[in-house]
Amino acid sequence: MSILPIIKEPASSLRQESQPILAVTPDIKRLILDMGQTMKSAKGVGLAAPQIGQNIRLCIISTEKGPLVLINPKITWKSLRKDVEEEGCLSCPNAYIKVKRSKLIHVKALNEKGQIFSFKATGYFARVIQHEVDHLNGILIIDK
Ligand code: ZN
């Protein structure tokens, strides 16, 4: 495993729409492990592939049980009820911005084995997922 350099704003790759992953290849699996290591070393709560220079639809979220891997994540439903919290981003050092996000979301994604799964997320967990999915669409907190 290796720690990857984190791309910082204003790199243009952070503003691109990322492409879907067609197959969970050994290269993707290696990338997932490297991203886990990178997120841990940077003390991040989430990391999206564009942040390490790969414009593919992959992100990981830090949880108590270890990194949650989301491949081609789709937010299939989001609550109209929102709240506002301050967020930071490993790609936007020194920026702490209040962002309005849905309180409850439904998510569908593939896991690291390429299996489809879906779940509901609330509160801080839902916020982190929305932040990472924004990255896959080329959106940063400073654009909010
Ligand atoms: Zn971020």
Report CA(51)–ligand 1 centroid distance (Å).
8
CATH C-level class of 12-143: alpha beta
Full-model pTM:
0.97
pLDDT value of position 28: 98
Report CA(117)–ligand 1 centroid distance (Å).
23
pLDDT value of position 1: 85
| Residues 74 and 107: beta-carbon distance below 8 Å | yes
Report CA(128)–ligand 1 centroid distance (Å).
9
| SS3 (DSSP) at 109 | strand
pLDDT in tens, 76-87: 999 999 999 999
pLDDT in tens, 44-70: 999 999 999 999 999 999 999 999 999
Name the residue ranges covered by the structural domains of the chain: 12-143
> Could you list the active site residues?
132
pLDDT value of position 33: 97
pLDDT value of position 122: 98
pLDDT value of position 93: 94
Please provide the DSSP assignment of 39-91 as one string: HHHTT-SEEEGGGGT--BSEEEEEETTEEEEEEEEEEEEE-S-EEEEEE--TT
pLDDT in tens, 91-142: 999 999 999 999 999 999 999 999 999 999 999 999 999 999 999 999 999 9
Report CA(118)–ligand 1 centroid distance (Å).
22
pLDDT in tens, 2-53: 999 999 999 999 999 999 999 999 999 999 999 999 999 999 999 999 999 9
